[in-house]
Amino acid sequence: MKFLVCISNVPDTTTKITFTPDNKELNKAGVQFVINPWDEYALTRAIELKEKLGGNVTVLNVGEADTEPNIRKALAIGADDAIRVNAKPTDAYFVAQQIAAAAKEGGYDIILMGKESIDYNGFQVHGMVGELLGIPTVAPAIKLDVEGSTATLEREIEGGKEIVEVATPFVVSCQEPMCEPRIPNMRGIMTARTKPLKVVEPTGEAPRTQVTEYALPPKKQGVKLIPAESAGDLIKLLRNEAKVI
Amino acid sequence: MSVLVVVECDNGEVKKSSLEVASYGSQVAQMLGTTATAVAVGEATEANLAALGEQGISKVLYDNDSRLKDFVNGAYTKLIAAAAQQESAQIIVLANSNIGAAVGSRLSVRLQASLATNVVELPKTDGGQFVVKRGAFSGKAFSDVILSGERKIIAVKKNSMEPLHNAGQTATVENFSAQLTDADFSDAPKQVIMQEQAGGILLPEADKVVSGGRGMKGPENWNLIEDLAKALGAATACSKPVSDVDWRPHHEHVGQTGITVSPNLYIACGISGAIQHLAGVNSSKVIVVINKDPEAPFFKAADYGIVGDVFDVLPKLTQAVKELN
């Protein structure tokens, strides 16, 4: 079975977000970039399934050369080979086209990715890839099992979950608690250096959206502390002052 | 030029997030000098659909095919695309929900539309550009995004729009069929399992949330959270460490890698406020933090705080809510 896992390169989850002085871009100074946490679920589950069923896990990232350390990390965790589409991932449609093009060429059975990236929070790429390839999409999934050419998935819905069966090929976006993400071991790190990483140029149409400006949320006024002994006063404040109850 | 609103229904009722979406869509229609039509998915009653007039909707299209009761991506996408075609919709508005995201992303390719999710405000149309404001960096920032092209799809973040209530206005409800075939239902769910929600309130839709962290000491103490939530009519939630050790189920975990919520009131009990947790809640209108550690970072993000033991404070709060009611 051939798995394609799409990973994003995102600021570490503890990053305090700031922007360049013109507010057009993230200020990357001092920011550590990691594999998007949601994508780690996709990567780990693909590796687990490969270990069970046999096959191959290819990692794909749309990004410039500075994303390669995280692509190597994915290889160290257990992916077999990687593709980097040499472009800045400007919008979801642009990224989806790159994934769809790679998927067509590679003939993958299951295309996995995280539910969304923690930077742009688009939650869009999975559906776009599915539609571009004319195959089903299951998003977001909390469980994925495969038998033969049929997969059984649990999909999260508001207030519950659905059990869905789909035949390969399909696209799935993953979220916790699908599996326990792995960290690379020394052997993985050593072998990752020699695994193939192919760099290809982007294809397809121009992006359909464009960010003009970033902004931080307005600063809070500061906390109003209520003494613990008169905790009940908080409820009066929430009704009369904040007007939320 | 027209605006199409996708309305999600469940057990006959229109979801709260869809009332917000309908209000958003009708205000966009008004800005553009046109009307807003809704297409309903899920199980709805005619009376509830007609009541969408209160949110400014003039007409509702409804396909009462019983196979559409539960979400089926292929069928929903085809149905909404057909409605968009019939209404010559240039703008489609839907909820930033699991259904909205699954359908919206497929629709954007099918209709060659630009798509923005997680949108928090009405669009700006100055200078010939169509610009929406959306949440980014897991709630730590916002971005203004130009949607280019003729067709645009907007997924509106929950609780970012106050639903309109024009009392007495009704929408006309029309039968609508997208000629769905069995093939459109090939990805239909085999089984739908609803999870128990505290007080029957869905966390992603809730406008009040009471949330507990490791400071609650154990799952056996959750009755304190539940009692306050019940008194307030709030949903319950938890921090990641709590769901990681199985004190609470994963679907209650709010934070960067859990559910992002933006209620009017978020009460955090025994949660220190790690940056990943804040990312999931900091667009809440009012944040209350109860923690015995005065140095807990969450106090910096809070509007109201009580430095105290949750085991003393929570019963007092529950009592005060009961007295108020």
Dist. CA B35–CA A208, nearest whole Å: 25
Q: Which of A25-29, A48-52, B44-48, B279-283 has the lowest mean pLDDT?
A: B279-283
What is the tens place of the pLDDT at every residue in B35-92?
999 999 999 999 999 999 999 999 999 999 999 999 999 999 999 999 999 999 999 9
- DSSP annotation string for chain A: -EEEEE--EEE-TTPPP-B-TTSSSB--TTPPEEE-HHHHHHHHHHHHHHHHH--EEEEEEE--GGGHHHHHHHHHHT--EEEEE-S----HHHHHHHHHHHHHHHT-SEEEEESS-TTT----HHHHHHHHHT--EEEEEEEEEEETTEEEEEEEETTEEEEEEEESSEEEEE-TTS-------HHHHHHHTTS-EEEE---SPPPSEEEEEEEPPPPP---EE--GGGTHHHHHHHHHTS---
A126–B320 C-beta distance less than 8 A:
no
Average pLDDT over residues A56-79: 98
Degrees (nearest 5) of the Cα angle B240, B241, B244?
Answer: 85
The nearest alpha carbon in chain B to A37 belongs to B257
A157 vs B contacts (CB less than 8 Å): 71, 98-99, 192
Residue A14, chain B, CB below 8 Å: the answer is yes
Give A179 to chain B, closest Cα distance, Å. Answer: 12
Beta bridge partners of B4: B37, B92
The number of C-beta contacts closer than 8 angstroms across A and B is 264
* Strand-pair category, A137-147 with A56-62: unpaired
Lowest mean pLDDT among A65-69, A157-161, B147-151, B312-316: A157-161
Residue range B221-230, pLDDT digits in tens? 999 999 999 9
Residue A24 in this model has a pLDDT that exceeds 70: yes
**Would you place residue A181 in the very low, low, confident or very high pLDDT band (cuts 50, 70, 90)?**
very high
Contacts of residue A93 in chain B, CB cutoff 8 Å? 108-109, 114-115
Place of tokens 């010559």: B88
Instruction: List chain B residues with CB under 8 Å of A166.
Output: 186-187
The tokens of A243 are what?
A: 């007007």
Task: Tell me if A17 and B137 make a contact (CB, 8 A cut-off).
Answer: yes
CA distance B204 to chain A (A): 7
pLDDT at B198: 62
Other CB atoms within a 10 A radius of the CB of residue A86 amount to 14
What is the rounded distance in angstroms from the CA atom of residue A68 to the CA atom of residue A81? 12
The span from the CA of B212 to the CA of B240, in Å, is 10
Chain B: residue whose CA lies nearest to A12: B276
Å between B190 CA and nearest CA of chain A: 6
pLDDT tens digits for range B257-301: 888 899 999 999 999 999 999 999 988 999 999 999 999 999 999
Please give, rounded to a whole number of angstroms, the shortest distance from the CA of A201 to a CA of chain B: 22
Residues B212-223, mean pLDDT to the nearest whole number? 97
CA distance A3 to chain B (A): 20
**Average of per-residue pLDDT across A63-71:** 98
Helix pair A232-240, B310-324: axis angle to 10 deg: 50
Report, as an integer, the average pLDDT of B233-245: 96
Q: Is A110 on the interface with B (CB under 8 A)?
A: no
In this complex, is the C-beta atom of A219 within 8 Å of any C-beta atom belonging to chain B?
Answer: no
Q: Are B22 and B56 in contact (CB under 8 A)?
A: yes
ipTM: 0.94
* Contact by Cβ (8 Å): B316, A232: yes
Parallel/antiparallel/unpaired status of strands A81-85 and A110-114: unpaired
User: A89: number of CA atoms within 13 Å, CB side?
Assistant: 25
Indicate yes or no: CB of B324 within 8 angstroms of CB of A228. Answer: no
Distance of alpha carbon A229 from the chain centroid: 46
Among A174, A208, A212, most B C-beta atoms within 10 A, so best to mutate, is A208
Q: Which residues of B touch A221 (CB under 8 A)?
A: 303
Nearest to A231 among B73, B142, B313 (CB): B313
User: What pLDDT score does A53 carry?
Assistant: 97
Predicted local distance difference test score (pLDDT) of residue B257: 86
Residue keyed to tokens 């909205």: B100
The CA distance from A167 to the nearest CA of chain B, in Å, is 9
Task: Extract the tokens encoding B93.
Answer: 């508005």
User: Is residue B117 within 8 Å of B101, Cβ to Cβ?
Assistant: yes
Percent of chain B, pLDDT > 70? 99
Cis peptide bond prior to A177, omega within 30° of 0:
yes
| Angle in degrees, CA B18, B20, B26, rounded to 5 | 100
Q: Assess contact for B215 and B269: CB atoms under 8 A.
A: yes
**pLDDT band per the 50, 70, 90 thresholds, residue A178:** very high
- Percent of residues, chain A, with pLDDT higher than 70: 100
pLDDT at B1 over 90: no
How remote is the C-alpha of A21 from its chain's centroid?
A: 28
Which residues on chain A are in Cβ contact (under 8 Å) with B313? 228, 231
Q: Report CB contact under 8 Å: B114, A38.
A: no
Give chain B's radius of gyration (CA, Å): 21
CA distance B97 to chain A (A): 8
At A36, the amino acid letter reads N
> Does the structure show a pLDDT above 90 at A37?
yes
Of B116, B202, B323, the CB nearest to A209: B116
pLDDT band at A231 (very low <50, low <70, confident <90, very high): very high
Evaluate if residue A210 carries a pLDDT over 80: yes
- Measure A194 CA to nearest chain B CA, in Å: 32
Give yes or no for residue B196 having a pLDDT over 80: no
Q: Which of A223, A230, A241 to mutate to test the interface with B (most CBs of B within 10 A)?
A: A223
Across the interface, do A231 and B202 touch by the CB < 8 Å criterion? no
Check B302 against A223: CB less than 8 A apart: yes
CB-based contact B265 A244, cutoff 8 Å: yes
Is A2's Cβ below 8 Å from some Cβ in B?
no
Neighbouring residues of B66: CB distance < 8 A, sequence distance ≥ 6: none
Return the HEC string of chain B: CEEEEEEEEEEEEECHHHHHHHHHHHHHHHHHCCCEEEEEEEEECHHHHHHHHHHCCCEEEECCCHHHCCCCHHHHHHHHHHHHHHCCEEEEEEECCHHHHHHHHHHHHHCCCEEEEEECCCCECHHHCCEEEEEEHHHCEEEEEEECCCCEEEEECCCCCCCCCCCCCCCEEEECCCCCCHHHHCCCEEEEEECCCHHHCCHHHCCEEEEECHHHCCHHHCHHHHHHHHHHCCEEEECHHHHHCCCCCHHHEECCCCECCCCCEEEEECCCCCHHHHHHHCCCCEEEEEECCCCCCHHHHCCEEEECCHHHHHHHHHHHHHHHC
Q: Nearest 5°: CA angle at A14, between A13 and A16?
A: 110
pTM flag (> 0.90): yes
Task: Provide the pLDDT for residue B252.
Answer: 93
Task: Please calculate the CA angle A134-A139-A142 and round it to the nearest 5 degrees.
Answer: 135
